[in-house]
Chain A
């Protein structure tokens, strides 16, 4: 069976790439600490030596549009181009080219559908910054094949939070049962409190630091039940109008299960709380582990 070697759940910040490229004279004061934290976080993936990455994110109205909007979609293509013209313009992100892993995509689709998720699929998917941000942060070599999984956190009506957790649990079951010798890592990105296009956007902190602290605690402790008890589609409007992206973190909690994170870090930036978590389902598989 395949080996699930690491699970990473993180915020995705599209300005990281550009910030990390600035010289010391141009970089903003928060850049050095941000880069240091990202480099430490990258090591949590590197030491797991993955062969293939399952990447959970959410298209931001790039390829998926309101005339045909899937709730959950799995990419099944031999290759993926990455990033869009308006992301290059707005965020300074370069375009990317990644290999796919069609065998795992096909297995994910077949098993996912049979386990109760009527997953949509795409044979030609240009991935956006929800998937490319973690490539830049934790695997800048962009050398591993990927299986992208998109969720709808953006265009209501949305699936319920429970459904995100359940999908994460199902992804975990599928990977654990995949007849392969490969080492798989799952990387998912979302948001804590976030406001975009509203009165609370781009403040000195995220729009709701109290929610952020609570959310970090739920994730770090693997407190799926506590999180589900307090989070509804309705309640997520209060911390900020783009906070439904937190449900991608809930999906990743489903992948990780009721487990304390093995690595947890966060950083308050000028308008968001950035957060970085890693779980190792089997620490014996890591570099440096005792044989």
Chain B
């Protein structure tokens, strides 16, 4: 299990408009491309310095490919990263202010303390 890699996906996709839109339109394709091409990129280094060992578990890949924010919460993805990316992708689909955020919370309504550990 790699909470770090889940977070890295959310972080890199959220901070680049083009990637955010790509993930919104093609979740499974974007996750497959990202895992193959980006997962091992050391962010402050040139391409030749790629890491060699990072990959998603099936469960993690599935949660990202199906844009299942409840599963991401359960897997211990950082909730701030998931939320901000979801706002970027889906807030536009709701008519009411904060409609997306309320629906997002409603889907998590069964969760009680302690929440899954987000320590990486």
Contact = CB atoms under 8 A, between A and B. Distances in A.
Interface of A: 60-62, 65-68, 84-86, 89-90, 154-157, 196-203, 237-238, 241-242, 270
A197 B120 contact: no
Contact of A66 (B84, B98, B102, B120): B120
B114 interface: yes
A154 B11 CA distance: 14
Nearest to B7: A66
B105 A201 contact: yes
Contacts, number: 78
Given A86-B88, A196-B80, A198-B79, A237 B17 contact: no
A86 B115 contact: no
18 contacts: A61-B11, A61-B81, A66-B4, A66-B120, A67-B44, A86-B88, A89-B17, A155-B78, A155-B120, A196-B80, A196-B83, A197-B78, A197-B104, A198-B108, A199-B108, A199-B110, A201-B105, A242-B80
Nearest to A156: B119
A154 B80 contact: yes
A270 B88 CA distance: 21
A84 B109 contact: no
B43 interface: yes
Contact of A65 (B11, B17, B104): B11
B113 A238 contact: yes
A201 B104 contact: yes
A65 B14 CA distance: 13
A62 B16 CA distance: 12
B59 to A, nearest CB: 19
B115 A241 contact: yes
The main secondary structure of chain B at its interface with chain A is: helix
Contacts of A155: 78, 120
A198 B14 CA distance: 18
Nearest to A202: B101
A278 B39 CA distance: 45
A202 B42 contact: no
B118 interface: yes
Interface of B: 4, 7-8, 11, 14-17, 42-44, 73, 78-84, 87-88, 98, 101-102, 104-106, 108-111, 113-115, 118-120
A196 B80 CA distance: 6
Identify which of B11, B83, B102, B111 gathers the most chain A CB atoms within 10 Å of its CB.
B83
A66 B111 contact: no
Given A61-B80, A66-B4, A202 B87 contact: no
A12 B5 CA distance: 29
Contacts of A238: 113
Contacts of A197: 73, 78-83, 104
B14 A86 contact: yes
Given A89-B88, A90-B84, 15 more contacts: A61-B11, A62-B15, A65-B11, A65-B43, A67-B43, A90-B88, A156-B118, A196-B83, A197-B79, A197-B83, A202-B98, A202-B101, A203-B105, A238-B113, A242-B79
B79 A86 contact: no
Nearest to B109: A199
Contacts of B42: 67
B13 to A, nearest CB: 10
A197 B73 CA distance: 8
Contacts of B98: 202, 270
Contacts of B81: 61, 197
Contacts of A65: 11, 43
A201 B115 contact: no
A201 B99 CA distance: 12
